Amino acid sequence: MKNNKRSFFERLTGSMRMEDEDIEEEKHEEKEEKKNSGHWIEEENEEAELAVDVYQTPTDIIIQTFVAGVRPENLDLTISRDMITISGKREENRNIDDENYFTKELYWGKFSRTISLSQEIEPEEAEATEKHGLLTLRLQKIDKDKKTSIKVKSI
């Protein structure tokens, strides 16, 4: 029976036995073969993660992401005071056989991204606009220093 457990020294230094290196090399070669075959390895129900830019102004937090090819009704924005989730689906509406593609790199399918905000916002004041495939979310920060005076009414 072969002992597959790595020694303390192997774990500490990141080294591995010769047999383990051969196995790792075989796995790497298999991955390269699949990668070079021109086909995506897709799992069922897999979601892509959106790339985003997040920055702030004195009064707002701004989030921008590209959603080109996505209809507004296929976008879902879930906003709380300290978190936002952008999800949706980019649908491919072409009927082209796979053997007719030379290259197929565009992502079609479900995507999402959850962003933890560094400061609380007013969910009711959020604005979302899309122009030329760029989705821009303007989230108004909560002003914790803001003070208001009210008058007491006698009933």
Q: In this predicted model, what pLDDT tens digit does every residue of 64-103 receive, in sequence order?
A: 999 988 888 889 999 999 999 999 998 877 788 888 888 8
Burial category of 61 from C-beta neighbours within 10 Å (exposed 0-12, middle 13-18, buried 19 and up): buried
Average pLDDT over the chain reads 80
What's the rounded mean pLDDT across residues 31-49? 58
The residue ranking higher by pLDDT, 124 or 41, is 124
From residue 37, give the alpha-carbon distance in Å to each of 31, 48, 71, 106, 109: 10, 21, 32, 16, 21
pTM recorded for the entire structure? 0.62
In 3-state terms, the chain is what percent helix, strand and coil (to 5)?
20, 30, 45
* Residues facing 153 on adjacent strands: none
Q: Could you tell me if 38 and 112 are in contact, meaning their C-beta atoms sit under 8 angstroms apart?
A: no
Please work out, in degrees rounded to the nearest 5, the angle formed at the alpha carbon of residue 93 by the alpha carbons of 91 and 95: 130
